[in-house]
Amino acid sequence: MINVFQPALGKEELDRIEKVFDSNWIGKGKLVDDFEETFAAHLGSTKSRVLTTNCCSEGLFSSMHLCGIQPGDEVILPTISFVGAGNAVCANGSKMVLCDVDRRTLNARAEDIEKVITPKTKAILLLHFGGIPCDMDSIMALADAYHLKVIEDCAAGVCSTYKGKAVGTFGDMGMWSFDAMKILVCGDGAALHFRDEELRERAEKWLYFGLETKSGYENSVAQKWWEFDISSFGHRAVMNDLTAAIALEQYKKLPMFMQKRAAVHRFYDEALGDLEWLDLPEPIPADCTTSYYFYHVQTKNGKRDQLAKFLRDHDIYTTYRYYPLHRVPGYGVTGKFENADYAADNTLCLPMHQSLSLEDTERVVEAIRQFGKQYC
């Protein structure tokens, strides 16, 4: 079976884990610190604005509290969003307001967002679909005009930039996932970026019970270091030195991962470009970069599901991301989202990961062409 997504881990990660075992410290420690420093530099930012946590979903949930979003406030998100984004808003008691997206990039545009702004709107929870950068100039201008907070879900945008600046560093908060199916993986883990350093400080406490003092040896209280105070009823959501060890090794491989993914992307572009029944991903603007997380095609003949089944029967696994939130009965949101509906009914994510061989990609292309000959 050719997987749709797949991590690439090796001996380097294992060796680093062994060192962590030897150190006798597997909790949050120096390696987490090192990874925060490394990732902050990667973003072109500073450690004073970057914090790790145990998963990107935690970042989504915590963003509500950290950005001061209250129950009853409206939060706008593209209907094509990760389920954790919807849950984060609803669990906060806030109102999830959905907007439509561009039918080809599946990203929300300023014009989609502006249509659903009301006096109660407090924030935009933006998704950079598959790491494709949203148009941040127009979205940030809109957010400024209406005094809205911007939270950027860049779960898959580990190397994505907009006009030379890392996505996730435009808004009040940005977040990246390092879960098992992403590009840089560590099992579970995430990085958060804060435009405001003071918010990062509050977030650090929030993600550790709201503790005002550090625990154990790090506590500066000379006597009775077990006493503490809290500033909020915070969570406990941190990375640890085991996951950070993996992340640090994966980070070294990131340029190679990007090269490989770009090569797969190019190969599909060239090998499928002549199929009239299929739309390929739109080129990224010259002043932006993507992370090549998805290679999403769109059938023009309504045969997406048939194509997915045909490929699965040929041992090629594909999927569609993300099921629109307005179709999830549990959210109880209705409305017209024509582009999102089109995308949800016609988009298919082809196998895309850094371990795909030329033979694998040739097999994918061959099977798609065969499907075309038989059914299109």
- Per CB under 6 A, residues contacting ligand PLP are 55-57, 82, 84, 127, 153, 155-156, 177, 179, 190
Minimum distance, C-beta of residue 181 to ligand PLP, in the bound complex (Å): 6
Q: How far is it, in rounded angstroms, from Cα 113 to Cα 102?
A: 11
The residue (of 153 and 249) whose beta carbon lies closer to ligand PLP is: 153
Minimum distance, C-beta of residue 127 to ligand PLP, in the bound complex (Å): 6
The residue (of 184 and 368) whose beta carbon lies closer to ligand PLP is: 184
Where do the DSSP E strands lie in 14-138? 50-53, 74-78, 95-99, 121-127
C-beta atoms surrounding 41 within 10 Å: 12
Amino acid identity for residue 255 in this structure: P
Distance of CA 83 to the CA centre of its chain: 12
Residue with token string 């997987």: 3
The residue (of 244 and 278) whose beta carbon lies closer to ligand PLP is: 244
Minimum distance, C-beta of residue 263 to ligand PLP, in the bound complex (Å): 23
The residue (of 125 and 211) whose beta carbon lies closer to ligand PLP is: 125
Q: What CA–CA distances, in Å, run from 265 to 2, 3, 107, 355?
A: 16, 16, 19, 13
Minimum distance, C-beta of residue 155 to ligand PLP, in the bound complex (Å): 3
Q: How far is it, in rounded angstroms, from Cα 355 to Cα 129?
A: 22
Q: What is the radius of gyration, based on Cα positions, of the chain?
A: 21
Minimum distance, C-beta of residue 126 to ligand PLP, in the bound complex (Å): 11
The residue (of 45 and 107) whose beta carbon lies closer to ligand PLP is: 107
User: Number of C-alpha atoms within 13 angstroms, CB side, residue 242?
Assistant: 10
The residue (of 63 and 289) whose beta carbon lies closer to ligand PLP is: 63
Give the strand pairing for 173-177 and 121-127. unpaired
The residue (of 31 and 192) whose beta carbon lies closer to ligand PLP is: 192
Minimum distance, C-beta of residue 135 to ligand PLP, in the bound complex (Å): 18
Minimum distance, C-beta of residue 273 to ligand PLP, in the bound complex (Å): 28
Minimum distance, C-beta of residue 376 to ligand PLP, in the bound complex (Å): 30
Q: Please state the length of the chain.
A: 376
Q: How far is it, in rounded angstroms, from Cα 82 to Cα 70?
A: 21
Residues ≥6 apart with Cβ < 8 Å to 90: 96, 331
Q: Please, are residues 140 and 146 in contact by the beta-carbon 8 Å criterion?
A: no
Give the strand pairing for 95-99 and 74-78. parallel
Residue closest to 352 by CA, chosen among 319, 322, 324, 323: 319
Q: Please, are residues 308 and 364 in contact by the beta-carbon 8 Å criterion?
A: no
The residue (of 13 and 153) whose beta carbon lies closer to ligand PLP is: 153
The residue (of 178 and 208) whose beta carbon lies closer to ligand PLP is: 178
Structure tokens at 134: 């949203």
Minimum distance, C-beta of residue 190 to ligand PLP, in the bound complex (Å): 5
